[in-house]
A and B are shown apart, each in its own frame.
Chain A
């Protein structure tokens, strides 16, 4: 059933999609984490109006199926971008926005809602007595955050934050719907040429598993090396 030379060729082709998939995942991870952190901080500090807006945002993006968000982005973002560019006097044809950018924006928008919950949980797990102690000693809020809260909160959040790298990897495979070629889409395309569907998907599965293994191990190591105090 498995023919070695076809298999090797398939592996080579599917592997070629790995760097770009990882690149998109990384960009998505970075932006969704930044946005999620800002949301979580706004909620933690209980800033009126922002707090309500973020709540609505989270309900929306946790509730709407990702594939719909991706299509909304695909059809809605180019004209929006064009319009916004025209407002600041730039003549940009929004339809020249690469599809992968639209995909990354859509996935980022969804994952940010989840990252916000992760960071919020880590913030809530912070023992506030330490904040009392710091304030009583004259720390400003900024000093308290930098010296005491941030180091503890980041480490508390690492396992769940890195979890979302894998969620992002999987979410990106929906990019197939708007012709973005990631690992999954490449295995699909490869199989369509030689009809070795099972083989192509098994290869994709193995690649995803290897990435999951590497990401999880790296996260564990990172957490352990940073968590010098437990």
Chain B
């Protein structure tokens, strides 16, 4: 349903993405792993055009777009069908938890306050934040902030969820509450792309693992292929250092 072809992007003189190809089928849960600075975040941001690739194409079901001739309508259409969860949460600081989840529904989707509220409350219940709905972000823990971010993303009913290292800026004791929510989301059947350093978690919830290295997809396969029999030497080395960490 989602196909990226030959995505290239550089920041100034540094080439970050060197021609990434990635295709995702409906219902896939794809985890993207790889060393820091290799362009994983940048790749996710290409999908909803938060950064502008210099070349490449994206296909989203019937919709095709060449990044060299990006058009606003296609970008907006893709943004409305994807939702992103950020490493730094990026919840709106001037809004309560409930308002964070409602606002996109009211402002972008033009739903009524009542309808938006109903949807938002349901999603907050799903991520276990009903009790915190009237709190402001400054009053929440990292885990609660991230669950707000997840509820906000789910509420817009996206076709694809994009998770960018959702637990990497959390204190260790808060990681599991967020992973639990993500697992609940991915097992509900929604197509998901997850950038993560939680190897065991990736192995458990994904049907595919993509290893990114130096701005390209260096390996792509089932969890068993990637974790149990890594063919790529750099992948093997990466896994070794990651496992040594945990």
CB distance from B148 to the nearest CB of A (A): 11
Question: CB within 8 Å of A: which residues of B?
Answer: 45, 48-50, 76, 79-80, 82-84, 86, 88-96, 103-104, 107-108, 136-138, 149, 152-153, 156
Residue of B92, B94, B137 with most chain A CB atoms under a 10 A cut-off: B94
- Bound: A148/B108 CA distance, A: 13
Q: Using A129-B86, A133-B84, A137-B156 as known contacts, say yes or no to A229 and B108 having CB atoms under 8 A apart.
A: no
Choose one: A148, A151, A229; the contact of B136 (CB below 8 Å). A229
Q: Using A137-B104, A147-B103 as known contacts, say yes or no to A229 and B91 having CB atoms under 8 A apart.
A: no
Q: In the complex, which residue of chain A has the Cβ closest to the Cβ of B87? A: A129
Chain A, range 145-166, C-beta contacts under 8 Å to B: 147-148, 151-152
Residue of A133, A147, A148 with most chain B CB atoms under a 10 A cut-off: A133
Number of residue pairs spanning A and B whose beta carbons lie under 8 angstroms apart: 70
Chain A: how many interface residues by the 8 Å CB criterion? 19
Q: B82 to A136, Cβ gap below 8 A?
A: yes
Which residues from chain B contact A136 at a C-beta distance below 8 Å? 48, 50, 79, 82-84
Q: B94 to A133, Cβ gap below 8 A?
A: no
CB distance from B106 to the nearest CB of A (A): 9
Can you list 9 A-B pairs with a CB-CB distance of less than 8 A? A130-B93, A135-B49, A138-B76, A138-B108, A143-B108, A147-B103, A148-B92, A152-B93, A229-B96
Q: B107 to A147, Cβ gap below 8 A?
A: yes
Chain A, range 81-134, C-beta contacts under 8 Å to B: 127, 129-130, 132-134
Choose one: A138, A139, A151, A229; the contact of B137 (CB below 8 Å). A229
Q: B103 to A130, Cβ gap below 8 A?
A: no
CB distance from B89 to the nearest CB of A (A): 8
Choose one: B93, B138, B156; the contact of A127 (CB below 8 Å). B93
The reply on A228 being an interface residue by CB < 8 A is yes
Q: Which 3 A-B pairs have the closest CB atoms?
A: A229-B136, A129-B90, A133-B90
Which residues from chain A contact B45 at a C-beta distance below 8 Å? 132
- Bound: A147/B95 CA distance, A: 9
- Bound: A130/B90 CA distance, A: 5
The reply on A194 being an interface residue by CB < 8 A is no
Q: Using A127-B93, A148-B92 as known contacts, say yes or no to A132 and B107 having CB atoms under 8 A apart.
A: no
